[in-house]
Structure 1
């Protein structure tokens, strides 16, 4: 991947954590960092330009503290926040955002801006909830062999290599039958599950062969993928998912698994979309 890492800020604590994550990521992967703040017209109309400049300056100072050697640029953008950030994603290596800004309800894990940008960005979007805290040395990726998950795997491998971290590949498979009569199909369900496990393990083999320098482990779980990823995330530095997997509707912008992970996983989450060529 080429281009700068772009981080959007608004002066919130969540955005400050995003700046720290983005600066650290830029340092690790040898990327330039671009910090942007979207100063909407209504803010300008009430004389809030100084606040916009202050938010950008504070973010820049923090980025310099975290990664003093990273090439850094800043810019005040105008227009609609979501449109401006999606526009930035077109040429960015990746776009980093806090999970919630100042708007919305305090109890919500994911704000409307973060959710919308993750759904419509042209490339990877990383959502950061707060300070990363303890380092686990592990990247988790959800992988089902679909094209979106292949793109997610490439990004996860890049992150694992940059961090010298283990890559844990998760495949969650929920039993297709859930009824009082499911016990009657016990042997068939067990056989189906074993076939799913075997297929999932085989899908990981080419990645190990292609990237022998990355420590890749895989785990198959008989439960919903969101639940499987949420559990794995408890000991992860980053969870990576594609925009859509094998299930769901082809026209859906963001699949149910990526949507569920964004809402339920508390460590940083990367939603990776294949770029249009």
Structure 2
């Protein structure tokens, strides 16, 4: 059975993450670890245990048939949590959206968690509620979103909602190697990106033949395109290039741009995770 790790600290965001995980338990079977990481030197361990007890009771109310273990660990974030999540099918965290300057700093923790754990990391915003909108996945030009595509298809299939594959493009050099034209036409570049989208649809159809799939090909940058699609999505799924979270790594990337600004659930899927 798959293992899901839920990072919990008693905040409103972590409560939303717990509710999102319980909703997932309606259609998927897994074992849950509810983990609270405390500082071994300054933590109030009695208060931490009360937080975990409340989380366990809430989980039993929402998903009584899904086994859950609550554990408090002394350590540092995100290293302690990501070590626990290593090998898990999913890591779920809450996040407070809407405050870009603050979120730009707090986004380091969940994005570090996604990179270090190697597990798909779901970021659930405060105020989350269930939706039957499609799961939207951002499709990149390269192979960095291949695992994100399969994760999104699986999530949509289990949730009983359509999958939206969104691919954005801007004018630039042709994707066709060795093409003689120095200035590719808009029509040809658009056609090349349409082929990328068609290949993704074919891959999803091969593995999830009954899953309804809608596509969007837009001329825009990925962050803007995904931001507009988010309000019509139950979840936004993105891949990473696997460069880590060092200075110059994911700073300014799509992930960091979206985390903290969207009021929708986001899932960051590392490229090395095998999901199929």
For normalisation by structure 1, the TM-score amounts to 0.83
Q: Which has the higher contact order (CA 8 A, sep 6+)?
A: 2
Cα deviation, residue 42, structure 1: 2.7
Deviation string 1:77-132 (CA, Å, 9 cap, x unpaired) is: 1111211111022121100001149xxx8973462422332343211000011232
Task: Give the structure 1 partner of residue 233 of structure 2.
Answer: 236
Q: Note closer, same or farther for the CA distance 1:275–1:119 as it changes in structure 2 (3 Å cut).
A: closer
Query: Where does 1:165-204 land on structure 2 (aligned, <5 Å)?
Result: 165-176=161-172, 188-204=185-201
How far apart in 2 are the matches of 1:84 and 1:113? 12
Task: Give the structure 1 partner of residue 83 of structure 2.
Answer: 87
Q: Note closer, same or farther for the CA distance 1:30–1:145 as it changes in structure 2 (3 Å cut).
A: farther
Where structure 1 has 5 or more consecutive residues not aligned to the other structure, the ranges are 178-184, 246-250
Q: 1:140 touches 1:170 (CA, 8 Å); kept in 2? A: yes
Where structure 2 has 5 or more consecutive residues not aligned to the other structure, the ranges are 174-181, 243-247
Query: Where does 1:220-235 land on structure 2 (aligned, <5 Å)?
Result: 220-235=217-232
Task: Give the structure 2 partner of residue 113 of structure 1.
Answer: 109
Cα deviation, residue 145, structure 1: 5.5
Larger displacement relative to structure 2 (117-126 or 191-200): 191-200
Number of aligned residues: 259
- SS of residue paired to 2:93: strand
1:258 aligns with 2:252: no
1:159 aligns with 2:155: yes
Deviation string 1:239-268 (CA, Å, 9 cap, x unpaired) is: 1111129xxxxx946781222222432201
The alignment yields a C-alpha RMSD, in angstroms, of 2.8
Task: Give the structure 2 partner of residue 35 of structure 1.
Answer: 34
Deviation string 1:112-166 (CA, Å, 9 cap, x unpaired) is: 4223323432110000112322513310001126333111111111111111110
Q: Note closer, same or farther for the CA distance 1:276–1:268 as it changes in structure 2 (3 Å cut).
A: closer
For normalisation by structure 2, the TM-score amounts to 0.83
Runs of 4 or more off by more than 6 Å in structure 1?
Answer: none
